[in-house]
Amino acid sequence: MLYSKVRRTGLDLAAEAFWRVPGCFGVARLLGPAYSLRCVVFHHISAEESPFTAGMNVCTAPQRFEAALQFLTTHYTPVRLEDVLAGTDGRNLPSRAVLVTFDDAYASVFEIAAPLCRKYGVPAVYFVNAAFLNNRRLAPDNLVCYVANMKGMDPINAAVRAVKGGEFSPLQSLSEVFSSFFPAITLAEREAFLESLQQLAGVNGSNLAKEAALYLTTGQLRSLASFDFEIGNHTYSHVHCRRLSPAEFGQEIDGNKAELEAHSGRKVRAFSQPYGSSKDLTAELASHLRNSGHEVAFLSESVANLKGTDLFHLDRVNPHVQSDDTFFLDLEVLPRLRAIRNRFFHGAVSQVAGTQPVA
Ligand SMILES: [Zn+2]
């Protein structure tokens, strides 16, 4: 945690210095290969953290989000998904094209983000998990986050032992749950873990979901599917796809798509990978997406999309938007450096900056 704070402070200082360089966009372009499409991902737009999100790095304050839209409309050309589907090699996209997306279907994207996007004329794609619509249950990440914030890590580790015995050494943080434990278990094991966690922590996820009202209602989803807003698939229950069986693809991918199309009245064409990792975008998943009517898939590893990028491997940046200079560094500089790194170290895990949210 300390290393991460020191690293971020260093990046903030670098951002401030870079932003002051005259013609900084042109200088950034010299850093590496042509950056064909910039994509950004936001999650929850909220002035305050709650026990359901504190520690997940998913909140953006409304005034910072509005400033981010002003930054994007000043320096970039926001585009629709339709424009992206027409080609990412740059031939059909305006210069400095940027696509704005939202993951996880927090109600705040309807209440706060969508009106601001309309105000600034910014199209957007909203990726939704149908399991949590109408606040029927808490998303696994929000449930684990709530328990960690209210009761500590002990009930979480007890639930891990209840499902997996002594296979895992005690988890120290939320990020270890999301980056180490969840990707290693099956869908059935995850459901058993969540059930056990609620019992051990003495909480009821369904009641908490109703009280917190964190997520979109189906009525809000229908309203979002208008203007230049697009509804996308984020799996039914927000899962790491690397462990899904073919039958579970049907439930998590096809079932979610069908339910979102029924609610929105629009065709669902885009998929975004929960947790954003390319490790989850397996060959089986990519093939299944192509064969089930999806036309594009997004990750969130904050790497620049170069000319000719595969539409089923488009990356997004999860930016720090506290100021124009940090947004510039996160969107213009670091993704290029990661793209260069990936050219030399195929598939290496990012060490350039820890900007990923856990969701
Ligand atoms: Zn997500």
Contact 106, 215 (CB under 8 A): yes
Distance 276 CA to ligand 1 centre (A): 8
Output the pLDDT for position 126. Answer: 98
Q: What is the signed CA dihedral for 6, 10, 15, 21, rounded to 10 degrees?
A: 170
pLDDT of residue 77: 95
- In the chain, alpha helices (H): 2-19, 24-29, 62-75, 81-85, 108, 114-120, 140-151, 154-164, 174-176, 187-201, 205-212, 218-224, 246-249, 255-264, 283-291, 324-328, 334-344
The rounded Å distance from CA 264 to ligand 1 centre is: 19
Query: Alpha-carbon distance 147 to 205, whole Å?
Result: 10
pLDDT score of 3 = 56
Q: Which residues contact 262 (CB under 8 A, 6 or more apart)?
A: none
Output the CA 201–ligand 1 centroid distance in Å. Answer: 24
Q: Ligand 1 center to residue 357 CA distance, Å?
A: 9
| DSSP symbols for 248-280 | HHIIIIIHHHHHHHHHHSS---EEE-TT--TTT
**Phi and psi at residue 185, in whole multiples of 5°?**
-115, 160
| Ligand 1 centroid – CA 102 distance (Å) | 9
Amino acid (one-letter) located at 147: V
What is the C-alpha end-to-end distance of the chain, expressed in Å?
18
Q: For the chain, 359 residues long, give each residue's pLDDT as a single digit of tens.
A: 455 666 777 777 777 777 777 777 777 777 766 778 999 999 999 999 999 999 999 999 999 999 999 999 999 999 999 999 987 565 678 889 999 999 999 999 999 999 999 999 999 999 999 999 999 999 999 999 999 999 999 999 999 999 999 888 999 999 999 999 999 999 999 999 999 999 999 999 999 999 999 999 999 999 998 877 999 999 999 999 998 988 899 999 999 999 999 999 999 999 999 999 999 999 999 999 999 999 999 999 988 888 888 899 999 999 888 888 889 988 988 888 888 888 777 654 444 444 445 55
What's the pLDDT at 17? 74
Strand, coil or helix: 298: strand
Q: Could you tell me if 198 and 143 are in contact, meaning their C-beta atoms sit under 8 angstroms apart?
A: yes
Q: What confidence score (pLDDT) does residue 323 get?
A: 86
101 neighbors 272 (Cβ within 8 angstroms) = yes
2 — phi, psi (to 5°)? Answer: -65, -45
pLDDT of residue 348: 45
Task: Give distance in angstroms: CA of 123 to centre of ligand 1.
Answer: 20
What pTM did the predictor assign?
0.90
pLDDT of residue 222: 95
From the CA of 103, how far away is ligand 1's center (Å)?
5
31 CA → ligand 1 middle, Å: 30
List CB contacts of 64: < 8 A, sequence separation 6 or more: 321, 322
pLDDT at residue 41 in the model: 97
CA of 266 to the centre of ligand 1 (A): 21
